[in-house]
Amino acid sequence: MSCAAETAFWIDWRLPLTSWPPGTRCYIGHETCWRRMPAAQEALGIADVVADNGGRISLVTPHLPGEALSVVLRLVERLVSKLEGVEVICSDWGLLNKVCLLRVGTPVVGRMLAGQSTDPRIARVCAPEGGAARSVTHLDGTLCALRRRVPSAELIEYY
């Protein structure tokens, strides 16, 4: 198994883009307002510059009203036809559904669809009570007693 780090840059698509660092990812779009998304010609122009330098594009999208869904979906399709490895960061369930159904780009669930700021299990982890031990079977077949260990004060403060 190997891991590779990817360098990415967020750009203001309203400014002219004439060069791009080779092999890096470009994030364009807007997370909260569909009217601030780049027009197709601007996005495709950026895609050309990024592609010429071996880069990749991530299109960040907001919640989309009905008419905007088809506009953004057409933009995604055009970007995918130009570039390999286009990510579509979706903050709209409808767009996420369409991207998955049509298999255009790589769908990514955006922050706006994941509304919780903390994992709900953290409250249970930080609870002071220990709970009863329970029996579990280890991978090798051995029966074991699983006991809860209360986290350290530092970890509770961190959470």
Residues linked to residue 9 through DSSP beta bridges, in sequence order: 26
The better pLDDT of the pair 132, 109 is held by 109
Residue of higher predicted confidence among 120 and 73 = 73
The stretch 38-67 carries a mean pLDDT of 91
Angle between helix 93-102 and 66-82 (nearest 10): 40
In Å, how far are 36, 86, 138 from 14, measured between CA atoms?
A: 10, 20, 57
pTM: 0.68
Q: Please report where in the chains the tokens 């933009």 appear, as a residue.
A: 75
Highest mean pLDDT among 2-16, 56-70, 125-139: 56-70
pLDDT-based confidence at 105, cuts 50/70/90?
A: very high
3 state DSSP class of 34: helix
pLDDT band (50, 70, 90) for residue 72: very high
- Answer whether residue 1 shows pLDDT above 60: no
pLDDT at 116 over 80: no
